[in-house]
Amino acid sequence: MSALTSAAARPTTALSPARRVKNLLMGALILLATLVVVAPLILIFVYLLREGLGAMNLAFFTKVPAPEGETGGGLLNAIAGSVEMLLMASVIGVIVGVAGGIFLSEYPRHPLMPTVRMISDVLAGIPAIVMGLVAYGLIVLHFGFSGFAGALALGFLMIPIVVRTSEEVLKLVPQSVREAGLALGLPKWLVTLRIVLPAAAGGIVTGVMLALARVAGEAAPLLFTAFGNPNVNLNPAKPMSALPLEIYRGATSAYDENQRLAKAGALLLIVLIFVTSLLARRFSRRK
Amino acid sequence: MSEPTRPAPPARLSSASDRVFEGLILVLASVILLVFLTSIYQLTRDSWPALQHFGLSFFTQRTWNPVAGVFGASSMIAGTLVTSLVALLISVPLAVASALFVAEYAPRWLANPVGYLIELLAAVPSVVYGLWALFVIAPILGRWQITFFSPDHPDRLALYTKCAALWAENKTTLQCFFVPSSGAGRGLALAIIILTVMILPYTASVARDVIRLVPQDQREAMYALGATKWEVISRAILPYARAGILGGVILALGRALGETLAVAMVIGDSQDVLRSIWGNASTMASVIANQFGDARETLHRSSVVTLGLTLFFLSVLVNYVARLIIARLTPKGIQ
């Protein structure tokens, strides 16, 4: 490839100036466009580091927000709520998602298979806020705002991501491995659970981590499900806060103190998400 | 992929347990269908009062007035389409260029990190984009508007008067479209800018993947004819990858249509029709985010859910088309 390009750069016949200029110009434009694409990420990260790092003291991790207009406090309520809701969402997302992946990869001849695949693809594109409306109708309308309702919306959002990635890695397990198991007289379910699934475990974990990273930052579906809570709440049946919710509240607040907490919260969230996605990718590449 | 060829006799012993397992997997996989059907049911049920009350005029009416109990969604639909399509228009060339850089120009040591950075861009939460847009871009945009679009000359007042008169008649000239707002940078333009940044990585990563799928022979044949790099890209690579890139573009459109908080935070939340690029507006998603929690009246609440239902079907349609294009294009075995 590089040999080819350098050969093209030094042709034996003379290249007309117009073509040479156009080639260089387009190359420069492509480089410039790439810089424009990457710039926001660097700018956001630098901004949050500069503004948020100072607010990340011990109180940030151990206290709840101070009442409006007062200084001090932290985001313990949001951190606890996020962890709790993500754990609950994972239960839904992982069980249904991995089962969906197994169904698509191990039962490709099942008459329902094309429908399940299409619907899971379609679900992946449904806006998060719409899932919030659905969880509202399912839970909040009957039982009130709760962490569980938020977790349900997040779990629904995780499902298609986990389905897709686990289907892909399950299909990478060589057919001969399955055949070897079956040849030993093992039933198909044991082959699937004890041989195929463990072989694909790394990839499935990657998919779950990516799904978590994706929904950890969602505030929209939580606005009218988990609703938010100024205090630490461990009861899933009661309103609960989350990092993205506090970021939203703080960023749209007129109080400096809330804005400061929001910036620190955004820094924490973005670092957690980056570390998770980078680890997931590192992990999957090694496989 | 074919099913394993199963040796018949010993398998019979386990057929009962196999059927139980298959049943269990099927039940769990059906939850996916259930989520989809429940969503349609819930959204339709909750939007029924509004649909019954307003009928199709809900989608064509412009007035959205919770106090008067009149709800028409046309300006939010317009806001959604305008922000999404303009953001798409700006982001596609940038995304394709960055994909070309990663796939064709950059040496491996640079291509991987740049690819990573672009994927991280997709991982930044909407609410963080909103925060950044609000605190960093909005003030810059506000200053810029004042400097470039309202020069302090005597005609300014005349221009405003003229535009205000035109607005009253509901006619907007292109000139008026650039009249600055007092929203300190917030408004339609900022929403478009932030949406552009947010959807870039989706198109970029799909474009990168399809560009990498272009067979090496295509490039080599062009180079052998003495083509320059740009000629290879424009005549061999892009035409070959065109349909796949289109799939990525439509996927990004789906994202843009449903993008909520970043837009809700910066668009200014006004139910006016779009009268200036600097003015406030709203999208379907931003209205859901901003109003659903406070909507007490049945009709108001139901109207907001109708926006959700519309968004639901719009996303289903857009994603279905995108997947269709991508599936048709991906060579067998790579999917």
- pLDDT tens, residue by residue, B295-326: 889 999 999 999 999 999 999 999 888 888 87
Nearest CA-CA distance, residue A44 and chain B, Å: 7
What part of B 110-139 touches A (C-beta under 8 Å)? 114, 116-121, 123-132, 134-136
Q: What percent of chain A has pLDDT over 90?
A: 82
Nearest CA-CA distance, residue A127 and chain B, Å: 5
Could you give the domains of chain A? 58-285 (1.10.3720.10)
Q: Is residue B177 part of a domain?
A: yes
pLDDT value of residue B334? 40
Select from B213, B210, B191 the least CA-distant residue to B95: B210
Report whether B207 contacts B99 (CB < 8 A): yes
Look at chain B and report how many structural domains it folds into: 1
Report whether A107 contacts B25 (CB < 8 A): yes
| CA quadruple B261, B266, B272, B273: dihedral, nearest 10 | -90
Two tokens at A214?
A: 């994706």
Please tell me if residue B251 touches chain A, with a CB cutoff of 8 Å.
yes
Cβ of A270 within 8 Å of Cβ of B128? The answer is: yes
Nearest CA-CA distance, residue B74 and chain A, Å: 19
Planar angle of CA A96, A99, A102, nearest 5 degrees? 150
pLDDT value of residue B333? 39
The Cα B71–Cα B302 span in angstroms is 10
Q: Which residue of A has its CA nearest to B118?
A: A38
Q: Which residue of A has its CA nearest to B128?
A: A266
Cβ of B293 within 8 Å of Cβ of A131? The answer is: no
| CA quadruple B106, A19, B224, B206: dihedral, nearest 10 | 40
Q: Which residue of A has its CA nearest to B113?
A: A38
Average pLDDT on B148-158 reads: 62
Three-class SS state of B70? strand
Whether pLDDT at A1 is above 50:
no
Cβ of B101 within 8 Å of Cβ of A102? The answer is: no
Percentages helix, strand, coil for chain A, rounded to the nearest 5? 75, 0, 25
The Cα B142–Cα B294 span in angstroms is 30
pLDDT value of residue B53? 95
DSSP B15-59: HHHHHHHHHHHHHHHHHHHHHHHHHHHHHHHHHHHHHHHHTTHHH
Report whether B114 contacts B102 (CB < 8 A): yes
Q: Is residue B163 part of a domain?
A: yes
How many CB atoms are closer than 10 A to CB B8?
Answer: 7
The Cα B201–Cα B123 span in angstroms is 9
Q: Residue B135 carries which DSSP code?
A: I
pLDDT value of residue A191? 93
Query: Which residues are bridge partners to A240 per DSSP?
Result: A227
Whether pLDDT at B8 is above 80:
no
Whether pLDDT at A188 is above 80:
yes
DSSP A3-28: HHHHHHHS-SSPPPHHHHHHHHHHHH
pLDDT value of residue A287? 46
- How many alpha carbons fall within 13 Å on the CB side of residue A255? 16
Whether pLDDT at B68 is above 50:
yes
Strands (E), A15-118: none
Q: Is residue B11 part of a domain?
A: no
Q: What is the pLDDT of residues B93-122, one digit of tens each?
A: 999 999 999 999 999 999 999 999 999 999
Select from B41, B84, B63 the least CA-distant residue to B303: B63
Q: Chain A interface, mutation test: which of B128, B219, B294, most A Cβ atoms within 10 Å? A: B128
Whether pLDDT at A11 is above 70:
no
Whether pLDDT at B177 is above 80:
no
Q: Which residue of A has its CA nearest to B108?
A: A2
pLDDT value of residue A9? 52
Q: Is residue B95 part of a domain?
A: yes
Nearest CA-CA distance, residue A50 and chain B, Å: 12
Q: Which residue among B43, B118, B226 sits closest to A38, beta carbon to beta carbon?
A: B118
pLDDT value of residue B275? 76
Partners of B28 on chain A (C-beta within 8 Å) are: 95-96, 99-100, 103
Angle between helices A128-135 and B298-329 (to 10 degrees): 130
CA distances from B56 to A177, B19, B39 (A): 57, 48, 21
Q: Which residue among A41, A99, A185 sits closest to B29, beta carbon to beta carbon?
A: A99
Select from B246, B250, B244 the least CA-distant residue to B330: B244
Average pLDDT, chain B: 87
Nearest CA-CA distance, residue B92 and chain A, Å: 11
Q: Which residue of A has its CA nearest to B114?
A: A38
Report whether A230 contacts A65 (CB < 8 A): yes
Structure ipTM over 0.85, yes or no: yes
Q: Chain A interface, mutation test: which of B32, B194, B251, most A Cβ atoms within 10 Å? A: B32
Q: Residue A221 carries which DSSP code?
A: G
CA distances from B307 to A111, A118, A128, B43, B92 (A): 34, 24, 14, 9, 27
pLDDT value of residue B1? 47
Cβ of B1 within 8 Å of Cβ of A38? The answer is: no
Q: Residue A108 carries which DSSP code?
A: T
Outline where A53-75 has alpha helix (H).
58-62
Report whether A96 contacts B28 (CB < 8 A): yes
Task: Tell me which of B177 and B219 has the higher pLDDT.
Answer: B219
Nearest CA-CA distance, residue A125 and chain B, Å: 6
- Look at the block and give the residue holding tokens 């935070």: B265
Cβ of A130 within 8 Å of Cβ of B39? The answer is: yes
How many CB atoms are closer than 10 A to CB A11?
Answer: 13
Whether pLDDT at A224 is above 50:
yes
Q: Is residue B130 part of a domain?
A: yes
Q: Which residue of A has its CA nearest to B334?
A: A168
Angle between helices B188-213 and A17-52 (to 10 degrees): 120
Q: For position B216, which CATH number holds?
A: 1.10.3720.10
Q: What is the pLDDT of residues B164-173, one digit of tens each?
A: 777 777 676 7
**B174 pLDDT band (50/70/90 cuts)?**
confident
Q: Which residue of A has its CA nearest to B309?
A: A130
Report whether A270 contacts A213 (CB < 8 A): no
Whether pLDDT at B2 is above 60:
no
Three-class SS state of B193? helix
Select from B220, B244, B179, B199 the least CA-distant residue to B92: B199
Q: Is residue B121 part of a domain?
A: yes
Which residue range(s) make up the domain with B267? 76-297
Q: Which residue among A23, A99, A252 sits closest to B230, beta carbon to beta carbon?
A: A23
Burial of A67 (0-12, 13-18, 19+ CB in 10 A): exposed
Nearest CA-CA distance, residue B268 and chain A, Å: 12
Q: What is the pLDDT of residues B126-135, one digit of tens each?
A: 999 999 999 9
Nearest CA-CA distance, residue A234 and chain B, Å: 23
Nearest CA-CA distance, residue A132 and chain B, Å: 10
Cβ of B125 within 8 Å of Cβ of A159? The answer is: no
Q: Is residue B229 part of a domain?
A: yes
- How many alpha carbons fall within 13 Å on the CB side of residue B167? 16
Q: Is residue B17 part of a domain?
A: no
DSSP B217-246: HHHHHHHHTT--HHHHIIIIIHHHHHHHHH
Whether pLDDT at B81 is above 80:
yes
Q: How many contacts does A have with B, using Cβ atoms within 8 A?
A: 315
Q: Chain A interface, mutation test: which of B45, B76, B90, B261, most A Cβ atoms within 10 Å? A: B261
Average pLDDT, chain A: 91
Two tokens at A257?
A: 């103190």
Partners of A282 on chain B (C-beta within 8 Å) are: none
pLDDT value of residue B325? 82
Average pLDDT on A62-75 reads: 86
pLDDT value of residue B296? 87
Report whether A106 contacts A170 (CB < 8 A): yes
Partners of A224 on chain B (C-beta within 8 Å) are: 292-293
pLDDT value of residue B41? 96
Whether pLDDT at B280 is above 50:
yes
CA distances from B192 to A31, B64, B283 (A): 23, 22, 11
The Cα B323–Cα B305 span in angstroms is 27
Number of residues that make up chain A = 287
Q: What is the pLDDT of residues B179-238, one digit of tens each?
A: 766 667 889 999 999 999 999 999 999 999 999 999 999 899 999 998 999 999 999 999
The Cα B84–Cα A286 span in angstroms is 38
The Cα B236–Cα B113 span in angstroms is 26
Q: Which residue among A27, A175, A262 sits closest to B229, beta carbon to beta carbon?
A: A27
Number of residues that make up chain B = 335
pLDDT value of residue B144? 80
pLDDT value of residue B5? 57
Whether pLDDT at B9 is above 90:
no
Task: Give the list of residues 6+ apart from residue B23 with CB closer than 8 angstroms, or none.
Answer: none
Q: Which residue of B has its CA nearest to A171?
A: B1
Cβ of A189 within 8 Å of Cβ of B17? The answer is: yes
